[in-house]
Structure 1
Amino acid sequence: MNKEITSVQNAYIKELFQLKEKSRERKKSGLFLIEGAREIGLAIKGNYHLETLLYVPELCSEAQLNNLTTQHPTIIEISKEVYQKLAHRDTTEGVIAVAKIKSHDLNNIKFKSEFPLILVAEAPEKPGNIGAILRTADAANVDAVIIANPKTDLYNPNIIRSSVGCLFTNQIATGSTSDIISFLKGHGIAIYCAALQASEVYTTQDFTKASAIVMGTEASGLSDAWLQQSTQNIIIPMQGEIDSMNVSVAAGILIFEARRQRNFK
């Protein structure tokens, strides 16, 4: 028989609320929350381990729950009041998973192709931008997304939400700028830095070889370490009054040019 929790004052629910709200609690426990059937399904496909599934029977039937996973997590029936305390959105299907955080070590990256295509973002802060970058990376089927000097916890609920689950569909690694540069150079991957200085128009470059496209922040661009190690700085010609655009939009333009050159293989 499934467990049942109806009170928001329940000690376990209070623990889960801390996981939702606080990065340090996620890091300490190694757990995080996934909300919604689609996102949970993508996490399972991405080989995330589910510890617990919590569901509202009026919103999600046991049959729907059983269709979600072949894993055997603990199942807990919860009230709508408890669900509303834990949920980040009002429109999800009444199901929340407690899942184990993955390691995002650089050495865990497995390239999908002989000439990998990698998207690197240095020190992104806004969860919405990170989520949008992950959606772009999924759409272009890049080999990996690498985040240098991360400022935001990857398992922030806003990243999961804004990425529409693409946090789970991409191969993601994090590390320091110096470690990532060493990793790329060690694997013979050309480094193309999106930068204004000493740049060539992005369409003039050959992205069919092993390539990393590196994006900085809109506010400060890339650090000198990247610019000093760049194979070539690249630029998107701007036709208006400003000299920059949203980082996720710029990443999409550059990544899809690389994918176009590879004939969308």
Structure 2
Amino acid sequence: MVNKQISSTQNQLIKHIVLLKEKSRERKKTKTFVIEGEREIQLAINGLYTIETVLYFPEIYDTNKLSALPENINCIEVTKEVYQKIAYRATTEGIVAIVKSRPHQLDSISFTNKTPLILIAEAPEKPGNIGAILRTADAANVDAVIIANPKTDLYNPNIVRSSVGCVFTNQIATGSTTDIITFLNQNNIHIYSAILQEAEEYHTQDFTQASAIVVGTEAIGLSDAWRDASKQNIKIPMQGAIDSMNVSVAAGILIFEAKRQRNFK
């Protein structure tokens, strides 16, 4: 473990971290991203992500914990001014890490379960919604999460933060709607699309077989390709004045009905 110290906000590494936080282009070019917080960093380690560098502010972070980190990590002590420059949260834990990203290709997904349960979100735009979907997926222990036609990269700091590290605990892939439908068909996974047209109430369906539950954005919904590919379109009965709800809430309702039918296995 190598220990150094940075005291200037003009240091090139500090400027690089700021860019990683703010620019998707920089994250993609360098294939790295930033994590902040003990829990998120530990979840990334548990998920076998490669931690390149850790920066810590000793007035907040207990430096005795550094010995528990994997070997060969470049550990750098920073001053208060530098830490405030790179920290994302208002309430923070004194530690930030630079981590290697993963490609998240469809062919990287593998199933140990013969009847996998998959949660798919098409073109979600808000990082907060994506993070909430990943938290739901983790809570339900789904076999995979797939983002169709992604509008932002998975390592956006708002996604990492709002997922409370669940971006590291789920098996995640991204791809085009067409490629994902092909993947599901090749693996004999039934598609249930949350679309109001020609839909049955969600609780009337059998999700005990290999199933993919697909949700879209509140504003646009799902593309026609999902309606055509569905084994059955499904809907959540709405009893109020509006006809839709937050996508992460809808995903939670649908996924946990599937888990209930599977006796939460």
Shift of 1:12: 1.3
The equivalences for 1:101-112 within 5 A come to 101-112=101-112
Partner of 1:39: 40
The residue type paired with residue 47 of structure 1 is L
Q: 1:103 to 1:71 in 2, by over 3 A?
A: farther
* 1:73 counterpart = 2:73: yes
Partner of 1:28: 29
Residue aligned with 1:32, SS:
strand
CA contact (8 A) 1:84 1:90 kept: no
Structure 1 moving runs of 4+ over 3 Å: none
* Structure 2, gaps ≥5 residues long: none
C-alpha separation in 2, matches of 1:112 and 1:77: 42
Shift of 1:3: 0.7
Partner of 1:148: 148
C-alpha separation in 2, matches of 1:71 and 1:163: 27
CA contact (8 A) 1:195 1:233 kept: yes
Q: Normalising by structure 2, what TM-score?
A: 0.98
The residue type paired with residue 24 of structure 2 is S
Partner of 2:235: 235
Partner of 1:168: 168
C-alpha separation in 2, matches of 1:71 and 1:152: 32
Q: What are the superposed Cα offsets for residues 99-130 of structure 1, whole Å, 9 maximum, x if unpaired?
A: 00012000001113110000000000000000
The equivalences for 1:47-62 within 5 A come to 47-62=48-63
The equivalences for 1:95-244 within 5 A come to 95-244=95-244
CA contact (8 A) 1:121 1:214 kept: yes
Shift of 1:9: 0.8
The residue type paired with residue 95 of structure 2 is V
Shift of 1:243: 0.5
Q: What are the superposed Cα offsets for residues 120-151 of structure 1, whole Å, 9 maximum, x if unpaired?
A: 00000000000000000000000000000000
Partner of 2:90: 90
C-alpha separation in 2, matches of 1:128 and 1:88: 15
Q: Normalising by structure 1, what TM-score?
A: 0.98
CA contact (8 A) 1:50 1:71 kept: no
* Structure 1, gaps ≥5 residues long: none
CA contact (8 A) 1:52 1:99 kept: yes
Q: 1:238 to 1:85 in 2, by over 3 A?
A: same
Residue aligned with 1:2, SS:
strand
Residue aligned with 2:167, SS:
helix
Shift of 1:70: 2.3
The percent identity for this pair of structures is: 69
C-alpha separation in 1, matches of 2:234 and 2:3: 56
